[in-house]
Amino acid sequence: MFIGHFAPAFAARGITDEAPKLGTFFFAAQFIDWVFFTLAIVGIEKVRLVPGITAMNPLDLYYMPYTHSLLASALWALGFGMVVWIVTRNPVAATWGAIVVVSHWLLDLLVHRPDLTIAGGETRYGFGLWNHPSIEMPLEIGLVLLAYCYYIRRTKGPLVPPLILLVALLLFQAIDWFGAKPEQAGVGMYLLALLGYAILTALAFWVQTTRWHKNKVGLAVASVRR
């Protein structure tokens, strides 16, 4: 799953104005993969390409106990939430930040072949929707569109910036699905993935400067507009 991970970011930001801003949530949504690709660059976690291992991509994610075990994801989520709390002193914001981080593992569980673990052990989990494109593709797009529409309904501001973000998300997903596949796993592939996350997160930080939550009324809205 790629852009589907951003669905919890849109939804969480729409729920309450006490939650972190959209850009922070976009970073949180892919935080597990930010760490994974960073660790892969230095050889701590490992991935290889095996053509045909799933119908949708050739990723054999055979060693990633420090990011893609449920225990590790929960610990990263706790750490992320603590950082949000230190910065904001807001337990609601910290809680939502942690929830979005750990949602990554739960969404991966739907699409991955059995390569996820609970605590880095031998037993592996994954429902394997990457082997069923007719289910995975509409599910991923549907999750993003539903969460995006909820975010738009719960916030106010010009529509062009969030539409640009949505188009970018769909474009990146199309490239991921239908573009040329890398010939081998390596630093170039890892950096390209991180660049994609960085571009989308930067767009989300821009969008958050143009919209405010509907809970802001009266003078609060006027001050945001200025």
CB 133 within 8 A of CB 149: no
For residue 69, the cross-strand partners are 117
pLDDT attached to residue 222: 43
User: What's the CA gap between 198 and 200, in Å, rounded?
Assistant: 6
Q: How far is CA 147 from the centre of its chain?
A: 13
Q: What pTM was computed for the model?
A: 0.92
pLDDT attached to residue 217: 53
Burial 150-182 (b: 16+ CB within 10 A, else e): bbbebbbbeeebbeebbebbeebbeeeeeeeee
Task: Kindly tell me the burial class for residue 134, based on how many C-beta atoms sit within 10 Å of its own C-beta (0-12, 13-18, 19 or more).
Answer: exposed
For residue 117, the cross-strand partners are 69
Instruction: Per residue of the chain (226 residues), give pLDDT as tens.
Output: 899 999 999 999 999 888 899 999 999 999 999 999 999 999 999 999 999 999 999 999 999 999 999 999 999 999 999 999 999 999 999 999 999 999 999 999 999 999 999 999 899 999 999 999 999 999 999 999 999 999 999 999 999 999 999 999 999 999 999 998 888 899 999 999 999 999 999 999 999 999 998 776 544 444 444 3
pLDDT attached to residue 218: 47
pLDDT attached to residue 219: 41
